[in-house]
Structure 1
Amino acid sequence: MNNRLSEFRVSNDAVDDGEELRRRLDEEGYLFIKKLQDPDKLLALRQDIMQVIRTGGWLMEGTDPMAGIADAAKQCTEPDIEYPSVYHEMYKLESFHRAGHWPEVMQMMEKVIGGPVLSHPQKIARLWFPKYTAHTTPIHQDFVHFQGVYDTYTCWAPVGDCPAELGGLAVLPGSHKINAIHDHHFSLGAGGLAINQEELNDNWVTTDYEIGDSLIFHSLTVHQALPNVTEDRLRVSLDNRYQSTRLPIAEHMLQPHLSGIYPFGWEEVYKDWTSTDLKYYWKDMDLEVLPTIEDFGANGFVEALELAGQGDEHAIHHLKRLIKRDPACERAQRAEDVLNNLSDHPEAVAVNP
């Protein structure tokens, strides 16, 4: 990314004015609210999450879990077979799911949306290792991932202070006004899909986030994560979605995160919960459910096959990871064919995009 970074516009002056919040969101595609979420509640959640991560062996022995000092030897991310053993345990935390329904968040989203709000059942946390920069979340629009309707919103918040070097989010103001989906291409980064930088301007905005700060943005707003270039710190963040209860939702957003690649259901999530109010809460709503659009991921996979055949190192890594994760699936068989053909033709030159 070009290093042309400016500061977010802060919208705390408009937090009690829903009309003005919506006007700014319509104009810029995002709202940045300082201390929207209670830092004390986020610190308590961080303690819960870091305890799980420590138990899973991702933190350096003998360090304070709250500091998030990562063991670099355990580097992994969502598509890696090593990831779900820790992520699934974190995902079972009742406190993690409850954070997506905190009153201060729901009330803000009601102002933004202008009516009753659905907090998507598929809550997401990002657990990001330092110096794993090839896997950084690339430039994209969220719609290709959560789908449903355009008027869906992400509320992103770090679970702890997040200076730029730890890898917070950056957005392109006004980029949602295209009112369409950019072409997305294969990427090794989180989500596996990226927009070509050449199609965009470079007027990115971001900040050094403090705990409690929240970034709200439209599903078509172009954004990306900055790389975590810290020496040893794990970045933990919440990545939750909201929409009007009157609008359709994509069916996969009613399932746990990553359940499409690692079998994992709600009964496992809820097993040790002490309350019931958030269990299957969406089933009491009369929601219109839309089928998941498979084309985005399918097109990215085809592009990965083509790039791997040309010796692209990122695509080759992606295919090898897929084969390791699910060797019997149809995509893994196609990936093996490409990699076997590549082995038979060593003259193919590996290139690093």
Structure 2
Amino acid sequence: MADEWQELRVSNDALDNPPELRARMDTEGYVFLKGLFNPENMRSLRRAMTEVLQEHGWLQAGTDPMDGIAVIEAQCTEGDVGYTDVYHQVYKLQAFHESGHWPVIMDTMEKIIDAPVLSHPMKIARIWFPQYTDHTTPAHQDFVHFQGTFDTYTCWAPVGDCPEELGGLAVVPGTHKVGKVVDHHFSLGAGSLVVDEQVQEGPWHSTNYEIGDALLFHSLTVHKALPNVTEDRMRISLDNRYQSVHEPIAEHMLTPHLSQDNAYDWDDVYADWSDDALKFYWTGRDQATVPRDLSYGERGFAEAVERAAQGDPAARLHLERIVRRDPTSDNARKAAAALAT
């Protein structure tokens, strides 16, 4: 698969030159930094996360959880009730949330944004099973999901080495220059939205990531995950967002990730934390908020309903998940009607 993408440009030489970092982000829509994070900090976080995954049956019992050897029979993904239940156990980890505030990423984002930085409260982990490639995150722009201001930046970082076959991230440089949200359509995979095929023509850029690496990119930069084609290894990564404190944040980014899937709030997240330093850290500020624009998801759902009625298996699987997750919702009723045709 290596011939399908080109190597990311490494920008460590510009770390101490904020104007150059900003110029590269402005030109390419991404900045890739080797070893930005302390590998030992990442290993400690990986152990904490994988121990939870093993405790809840996603990693093989009797193995070192650091190896990330998955239980294939436990396969699930975002949108599945079983996924959310285990994911929210990982989400309670204080160390997981603290990683989004490590000084090195806050300082780097401040150099790129050129303003005081807000780390979005909605921290995100991506936990992808092997042999489940139909659910690989499709090509998309982050803005459709996280919104607020176009000048929001993602930091994607593998929690462990992430060679090509484990499914790292790939970007199309310069795609942010369009300056707008391009058309998205229904797809399986995280977010359930994919850009038009012509936007995906590339060239795609990726790498064999190592622990400590970080890929930073603009909210309009088109990107996707590579498939996890390993036999039995779980892919785990951090997926966090940053913006200027002077720009508005979308209201839903102030809530826990996947909290719409069950009754889950910040008090649940904080239940076992040892201190209060990061609890509700975004409150008490003069931080502007904007409502979430639901139109992107609504269009994707309407396409899924139409395609499911025509027998499309991916769309039918998506609608079946919606029905199982909340059978009394309006979308579940529409999904059930489409599945009955």
TM-score (norm 2): 0.98
Which position in structure 2 is the counterpart of 1:253? Answer: 253
Q: 2:202 and 2:288 mapped to 1: Cα distance? A: 38
Which position in structure 2 is the counterpart of 1:217? Answer: 217
Which position in structure 1 is the counterpart of 2:165? Answer: 165
AA partner of residue 85 (structure 1): D
Query: Quick check: 1:139–1:194 contact (8 Å CA) kept in 2?
Result: yes
Residue 116 (structure 1) aligned with residue 131 (structure 2): no
Residue 242 (structure 1) aligned with residue 281 (structure 2): no
Query: Quick check: 1:248–1:288 contact (8 Å CA) kept in 2?
Result: yes
- Aligned counterparts, 1:81-96, within 5 A: 81-96=81-96
Q: In the TM superposition, what whole-angstrom CA distance separates every residue of 1:293-332 from its partner, at most 9, and x where no partner exists?
A: 0001111000000000111000000111111111111111
Which position in structure 1 is the counterpart of 2:130? Answer: 130
Which position in structure 2 is the counterpart of 1:100? Answer: 100
Secondary structure of the equivalent of 1:95?
Answer: helix
Moved over 4 A (4+): none
Residue 149 (structure 1) aligned with residue 163 (structure 2): no
Residue 52 (structure 1) aligned with residue 52 (structure 2): yes
Q: 1:33 and 1:88 mapped to 2: Cα distance? A: 29
Unaligned runs of 5+ in 2: none
AA partner of residue 194 (structure 1): V
What displacement does 1:107 show?
Answer: 0.5
Secondary structure of the equivalent of 1:101?
Answer: coil
Q: 1:278 and 1:167 mapped to 2: Cα distance? A: 31
Residue 207 (structure 1) aligned with residue 207 (structure 2): yes
Which position in structure 2 is the counterpart of 1:319? Answer: 319
Query: Quick check: 1:56–1:85 contact (8 Å CA) kept in 2?
Result: no
Secondary structure of the equivalent of 1:115?
Answer: coil
User: Bigger shift: 210-219 or 324-333?
Assistant: 324-333
Q: Report the aligned-residue RMSD.
A: 1.1
Query: Quick check: 1:32–1:216 contact (8 Å CA) kept in 2?
Result: yes
Which position in structure 2 is the counterpart of 1:42? Answer: 42
Which position in structure 1 is the counterpart of 2:271? Answer: 271
Query: Quick check: 2:308–2:338 contact (8 Å CA) kept in 1?
Result: yes
Q: How many aligned positions are there?
A: 341
What displacement does 1:2 show?
Answer: 10
What displacement does 1:198 show?
Answer: 2.5
AA partner of residue 274 (structure 2): T
What displacement does 1:141 show?
Answer: 0.2
What displacement does 1:261 show?
Answer: 2.3
Q: 1:338 and 1:129 mapped to 2: Cα distance? A: 29
Q: In the TM superposition, what whole-angstrom CA distance separates every residue of 1:51-72 from its partner, at most 9, and x where no partner exists?
A: 1001110011221100000000
Query: Quick check: 1:323–1:335 contact (8 Å CA) kept in 2?
Result: yes
Secondary structure of the equivalent of 1:306?
Answer: helix
Which position in structure 2 is the counterpart of 1:287? Answer: 287
- Aligned counterparts, 1:330-349, within 5 A: 330-341=330-341
Query: Quick check: 1:116–1:244 contact (8 Å CA) kept in 2?
Result: yes
What displacement does 1:18 show?
Answer: 0.5
Query: Quick check: 2:326–2:332 contact (8 Å CA) kept in 1?
Result: yes
What displacement does 1:3 show?
Answer: 5.1
Query: Quick check: 2:146–2:253 contact (8 Å CA) kept in 1?
Result: yes
Cα distance change of structure 1 residues 133 and 321 upon mapping to structure 2, 3 Å threshold: same
Cα distance change of structure 1 residues 178 and 199 upon mapping to structure 2, 3 Å threshold: same
Query: Quick check: 1:188–1:318 contact (8 Å CA) kept in 2?
Result: yes
Q: In the TM superposition, what whole-angstrom CA distance separates every residue of 1:92-132 from its partner, at most 9, and x where no partner exists?
A: 00000000000011010010111100000000000110011
Secondary structure of the equivalent of 1:284?
Answer: coil
Q: 1:179 and 1:250 mapped to 2: Cα distance? A: 19
Query: Quick check: 1:4–1:202 contact (8 Å CA) kept in 2?
Result: no
Query: Quick check: 1:2–1:202 contact (8 Å CA) kept in 2?
Result: no
Q: 1:87 and 1:169 mapped to 2: Cα distance? A: 21
Q: 2:79 and 2:34 mapped to 1: Cα distance? A: 32
What displacement does 1:340 show?
Answer: 1.1
Query: Quick check: 2:84–2:261 contact (8 Å CA) kept in 1?
Result: no
Q: 2:122 and 2:85 mapped to 1: Cα distance? A: 18
Q: In the TM superposition, what whole-angstrom CA distance separates every residue of 1:38-92 from its partner, at most 9, and x where no partner exists?
A: 1000000001001100111001122110000000000001101111221011000
TM-score (norm 1): 0.95
What displacement does 1:284 show?
Answer: 2.6
Aligned identity (percent) is 57
Unaligned runs of 5+ in 1: 342-353
Secondary structure of the equivalent of 2:201?
Answer: coil
AA partner of residue 111 (structure 1): K
